[in-house]
Structure 1
């Protein structure tokens, strides 16, 4: 008797469901809408918010096209799915799904998007997704998958996006992606892969975006991406890379976007990245290099956006760092706590620069004319310990001149001196900044005069030092004892002109004085007939 009752109950449930479906469609959807759900029979959409559903409802409109049941307690998908053959969109994310029997979606021939992310799915097979002939997007992110077996997705011929991120995948069969010739986006980030699964990439001839970050690669083997000739976006953020080689990115000449942030690179891989001539966006923050040297990104003439943020060891940017990247439109160098120095000319030669973010570094000052404002629209220098003195006047004037334009300016706040702390730089006068001569041309003229004066003083000092003996003799002769001076002159006359010249060389190296003295002696001898007085007669 109990056995018969057990058999009757499921039959009765099915009859009840069929009876509900036979009701007029216009009323059935509304009348049987579960608590906490919104059912619209005009758009054929049912959305169930956070609630207490633990099974998939079987009494909804059979013509339903979009079904969203998120943040509930559904643990399995049973045969109830067969009642919704018209579905094109199904979202069962953030439930407790751990079991999906084979052929669960056998009746969903029209389904194009299936979201099963953030559940507890531990395994899938090549029979799990049978019947999904039109599926374009499959989201399995945030589950408990640990491996991908051979041909697991082979039935999904039209699949374009596959998200397998945030799982526990450590092994991928070389034939796991067979049949996915139309796949364009693949997420394998945040798993436990110890090597790039290059062998499995062979069938992915249309792949354009690949996300491999937050794994444990340490390095990228030669020709790892050779089969992905159409790849335009590669994300290796947080992949534990300590080194890349010249062959790491071979075959990726068409790459447009590369993310190498949050790795362990001890230097900027200039030569290794040089073949990526078509690269437009590059992220290199959170690495271990301490400087951005001259021509750090040589070869990447098409680079439009560069992000170097969160690097704890970066302390300087050298002159000409971006000299090979004249097409840069956006530079983000933020949250580098050791960055204290940006050399003159580091940001020069960038005529197309529209957005410059130097936020949250350790910059205390910026050299005059560090960057131009030709095309600049956004400037962010906030959260730096800026010292507001005359060295920063050029920036203050630039900000004031642009204050009435359409550019977006985030105020520059002074960190010191104490009297100007928390003041807005743009609001300070040149006098408050300690600038006596605010006009840069006046400053240049004054500087030139000071340099010239210093040069003249130095030259005079050298002349005086060189002629110090002659000057002493002149001083003694002019203001010393007159008797001694006459006696000395008489003494000198007892010698011949040659002896005199030998005993008293000209200390300044000038012959004009000696010549004059000789002429004076000769003239006196001939005109007055005065003989030389021997010393003994004095």
Structure 2
């Protein structure tokens, strides 16, 4: 009952965390503060007769799911002194025409429409527009020209739009014209996820480098297998890159050219191993995500040693990951990286060494849903660490269970003590453990086994070679009698 009460307490705390996560804003989002005193003081006419309007900061006009084929003309006549957020998601729009107002629009969303074309200078009359969301449409490369993003005309040509966030994810973009962003050079967040780019060609590379102030770049699920080496040379403030769900076999060397990269996502790429060369040059990185990698097997020594500023590591749901070196977080000068948060849940790890990390520095430690062998190698967890973990982050201890030995299979870490752990055989640094005879399973050190086999084979091979030479060149062996060759005096003496 004590364990049950403890788990119920975990569930209650976890539910609170879940509620808080629901409040996290999404891409290009702005904080909306609703002023209920204004809700019924407004004269709702025009656009608010067919859309949902909510007074607040900014003012919200939500026209989602209304089967609109064009932007309602009533929007042009709407008057509001506060900033306005307009949502046109999930309609039947194929074309975005020029929007003449209101001037206070700061955020405009067209997600989940059928848009294939955008009018020239479509957003010219929206001087305060900072966020434009065109995700989940059918925009081709040809629809994204610099003319689409033209600002008001000035003495020296068209002025820049004030866009800081542009979401073009999940369209039909396979490349970008080199001058696509000439009128929106102030963009700080660009999302290109889910487009069939395949490669970052020269045109696309030039277009991206136009955005010198870019902070966030997402290229997830774009079919990339590598990046141009000089791609990030021009970015001075790029701090977040998402390369998830691509075809990367290694960490792109181009990332070494970033100057202030703080967050990197590499989830769901076919990388098999990380080693001491994987993250060279990423000295400022604070958050790394390498989860959902179906082919990841090993994390070798010093893999994260170059990431001296790393604070958060997400390395979860890697179903084949069975080995993390005890020196994976050791730096070149012999010190350890001090993390504050690590997620190792849902991997294929059967143990964790006490030398892996300075665990006392961790604020969050999640290693749930791994097939742990509860033997002496996990003794350190029961020397006070488990209690501290439960006190600080109980939601991450619900599914810390033993997989082996069979006598402890399915038992929560909270249901056993240090004395219940099975004994180890051999060197604790090796994967060496003999299961219950009832389980009839045996774990041995792979390195020891391979070395033994190689040693035996070498002895056998050398023995056979020695025996063969001894027999072949023995003077009593008729097969090895020497044949004398006598040079003929002239060609005529050679018998044919």
Same fold (TM > 0.5): yes
**Which of 400, 419, 423 in structure 2 is aligned with 1:431?**
419
Instruction: Give the greater-gyration-radius structure (CA).
Output: 1
Q: Which residue of 2 aligns with 1:477?
A: none
Relative distance call for 1:105 and 1:403 in structure 2 (3 A) is closer
Give the alignment partner of residue 410 of structure 1, picking from 397, 404, 410: 397
For residues 481-515 of structure 1, the C-alpha deviation after alignment (integer angstroms, 9 at most, x for no partner) is xxxxxxxxxxxxxxxxxxxxxxxxxxxxxxxxxxx
Kindly indicate whether residue 101 of structure 2 is the aligned counterpart of residue 131 of structure 1: yes
Asked whether the equivalents of residues 311 and 340 of structure 2 are also in contact (C-alpha less than 8 Å), the reply is yes
Is residue 87 of structure 2 the alignment partner of residue 115 of structure 1?
A: yes
> Matched residue of 1:225: which SS?
helix
**Bigger RCO of structures 1 and 2 (CA < 8 A, at least 6 apart):** 2
Partner of residue 375, structure 1: 361
The alpha-carbon deviation at position 124 of structure 1 amounts to 1.7
3-state SS of 1:254 partner? coil
CA distance in 1, matches of 2:86, 2:107: 6
- Across the aligned residues of Structure 1 and Structure 2, the Cα RMSD in angstroms comes to 3.0
Distance (whole Å) between structure 2 residues aligned to residue 429 and residue 91 of structure 1: 57
Partner Cα distance (1:234, 1:168) in 2:
21
45 and 397 in structure 1: CA distance in 2 versus 1, 3 angstrom threshold: same
Aligned-partner Cα distance in 2 for 1:406–1:41: 37
1:453-492 to structure 2, matched below 5 A, reads none
The corresponding residue for 2:320 is 338
Task: Name the SS of the counterpart of 2:356 in structure 1.
Answer: coil
Displacement of 1:290 in angstroms is 0.5
Residue 63 (structure 1) shift: 6.4
Corresponding residue for residue 263 of structure 1: 246
Q: 1:294 aligns with which of 268, 271, 276?
A: 276
Q: Which shifted more, 407-416 or 111-120?
A: 407-416
Aligned-partner SS, 1:415: strand
Aligned to 1:92: 63
In structure 2, distance between residues paired with 1:121 and 1:167: 9
Unmatched segments (≥5 aa) in structure 1 = 1-39, 47-59, 72-80, 441-538
C-alpha distance in structure 2 between counterparts of 1:331 and 1:378, whole Å: 10
Q: CA separation in 1, counterparts of 2:419 and 2:375?
A: 10
- Segments of structure 2 that go 5 or more residues without pairing to the other structure are 1-33, 152-159, 429-496
TM-score, structure 2 normalization: 0.68
After superposition, give the CA deviation of every residue in 1:367-399 in whole Å (9 maximum; x if it has no partner): 342111242011111111111112222233353
- 2:351 aligns with one of 365, 368, 389: 365
Q: What is the aligned residue count?
A: 369
Q: How does 1:449-528 map to 2 (within 5 A)?
A: none
Q: Secondary structure at the match of 1:384?
A: coil
What is the rounded CA distance, in whole Å, between the counterparts of 2:47 and 2:76 in structure 1?
A: 17
* In 1, Cα distance between equivalents of 2:404 and 2:258: 44
Q: Where does residue 33 of structure 1 map in the other structure? A: none
Contact 2:94–2:117 at 8 Å: present in 1 too?
Answer: no
User: 1:197: how far off?
Assistant: 4.6
Look up the match of 1:240.
Answer: 223
| Cα distance in 1, alignment partners of residues 285 and 397 from structure 2 | 25
Aligned residue number for residue 409 of structure 2: 421
Question: Compared with structure 1, are the counterparts of its residues 375 and 403 closer, same or farther at alpha carbon in structure 2 (3 Å cutoff)?
Answer: closer
Contact 2:173 2:195 in 1 (8 A): yes
- Which of 185, 189, 206 is the equivalent residue of 2:165? 185
Judging changes above 3 Å, is the alpha-carbon distance between structure 1 residues 401 and 369 closer, same or farther for their aligned structure 2 residues?
Answer: farther
Match for residue 489 of structure 2? none
Give the structure-1-normalised TM-score: 0.63
CA contact (8 A) 1:193 1:215 kept: yes
After TM superposition, list the pairs within 5 Å mapping 1:2-81 onto structure 2.
43-45=37-39, 62=43, 67=48
Q: Give distance in 2, aligned partners of 1:369 and 1:309.
A: 22
